[in-house]
Every structure is written in C-alpha cells, then in structure tokens.
Amino acid sequence: MPSFLLGPLGKLAGVVLIVLAAFLGFRLWLASHDTAILSGYVLLSEKTAAEAKAAEIERQRDAASQALDEHRKRLAAAEASQQAAKDTLESEIKAYELQLSEKNRACLADAADRDFILHH
C-alpha cells in the first residue's frame, strides 16, 4: 500500500482528494454565506414592506380626516342654511300676522285644523 501512495496514481489520487475537499469546503462556506446574506435581504424587504404599509395607512388616515372635516363643514353650512330658512319663514309669518291684525282680521285655523286638512 505505501508503494501505491508514493506512485504517480497515489499522488494523483491525493491531489484529487485535496481539490475535492477544498471544493466541498468552499461550497459549504458559500452556502452558509448565501444564507446569511439572503436573511439580511429578507429582513430588509420586510422592513421596506412594513414602511410602505405604514405610509399607506397614514395616507388613508389623513384622507379620512380630511373627508370628515369637509363633511363637518358641509353639515354646518346646511344647518346654517336651514336655520336661515326657518328664521325667514318665522319672520314672514309674523309679518303676515301683523298685516292681518292691522286690518282687524285673524287666521282662526290652528294646528288641529291644519292636521285635519292634511289628512283628509
């Protein structure tokens, strides 16, 4: 056996084993290195996705807040318009009643009469 290791085939087999061991060692190191690098990329991509999601949620919150403010403004304007119309109607009724009282006339219909007319 020692003559085989010292012969040309033994040297060739030794070189092949050394190259094979170096190649396998390099492949193992490369696999672990790639795993570490890829885990960093996964963390980075997850972080980027989380930041994008947070930005989208903030954008939606701002849009909802703006829509709510706009709705409140429109509601306040509608209520003011309704109150102005009610005030105008009240003043017209009072003016008409004043006209009737100046002419010694009065409207004798009350709320019950009005309901009767509306329902019959």
Stated length of the chain = 120
Q: Where are the domains of the chain?
A: 12-104
Cα 115 to the chain's mean position, in Å?
A: 51
Evaluate if pTM is beyond 0.75: no
Question: Measured at the alpha carbon of residue 117, what is the angle toward residues 86 and 96, in degrees to the nearest 5?
Answer: 40
Identity (one letter) of the amino acid at 119? H
DSSP 109: -
> In tens digits, what is the pLDDT along the chain, a chain of 120 residues?
556 666 677 788 888 899 999 999 999 988 888 887 777 777 888 899 999 999 999 999 999 999 999 999 999 999 999 999 999 999 998 888 888 888 877 777 778 888 888 888
Mapped onto helix, strand or coil, the DSSP state of residue 105 is: coil
Question: Measured at the alpha carbon of residue 88, what is the angle toward residues 82 and 94, in degrees to the nearest 5?
Answer: 135
